[in-house]
Amino acid sequence: MERSYKVWNSYYKRNNSLPAPRLTVSFLRMIPENGRILDFGAGSGRWAAAFLRDRQDIVVDVLDQNVECASLLPEDWCGEKIKARFQDFNLNYSYDGIWAFAALFFLNKQELEMCFHELAAALNDGGVMAFTMVDDCLVARNARFYGMASEDIKLLMHKEGLKIISFRLNKNTSYGLDKIKIPTYFMTARKIKP
């Protein structure tokens, strides 16, 4: 279904707050034509809306505990809203791409391992998962964020049949309204056939 910028909801028209196309292009380049993406931890829906803006042929599902707040999705959006916590969710589809931006910071190591197992199982062969993660070797122990050391997450990706294709560490990433700076890495991994 062809989407036009003119039919996007009034919230988006008033608040041009979607990520710039340069921030979506490398991920979307890895998604096949007519592919399906899961925005895991969608929040306001800003990443999902940006993916739809930049690729009209894809379907984007959104998952969040407060999924009804995904107000940046266009009115003609065709996808699923999945209301769930990150610790316990069920997926009805398989995906060519899974995007989890700043969504996994509140899960402890055991929850992260379970979550990644479920997400990896939902990826099609050749599908990609892109996510940000707090590097818990670099963050203060009393911080309100969890995470995983980059070496541990690399081992976990291998265990789940995912091959890391890009990794970037930023020691001063700012998050939230109070601009808390925490060391974060951005990783992209591809599911490989067994």
Q: How many domains does the chain have?
A: 1
- Domain of 106: which CATH number? 3.40.50.150
Q: Which pTM was predicted?
A: 0.85
pLDDT digits (tens, 9 = 90+) for 82-122: 999 998 899 999 999 999 998 888 788 899 999 999 999 99
Q: Distance between CA atoms of 162 and 91, rounded to whole angstroms?
A: 19
Q: Looking at the chain, how many residues does it have? A: 194
Average pLDDT over residues 160-175: 84
Q: Distance between CA atoms of 28 and 37, rounded to whole angstroms?
A: 9
pLDDT digits (tens, 9 = 90+) for 111-162: 999 999 999 999 999 999 999 888 775 555 545 567 788 889 999 999 999 9
**CA-based nearest residue to 47, from 72, 10, 68, 64:** 72
Range of the domain at 48: 5-191
Answer for the pair 63, 84: CB distance below 8 angstroms, yes or no: yes
pLDDT of amino acid 144 = 59
For 31, 43, 63, 180, the CA distances from 114, given in Å and listed in that order, are 25, 21, 16, 27
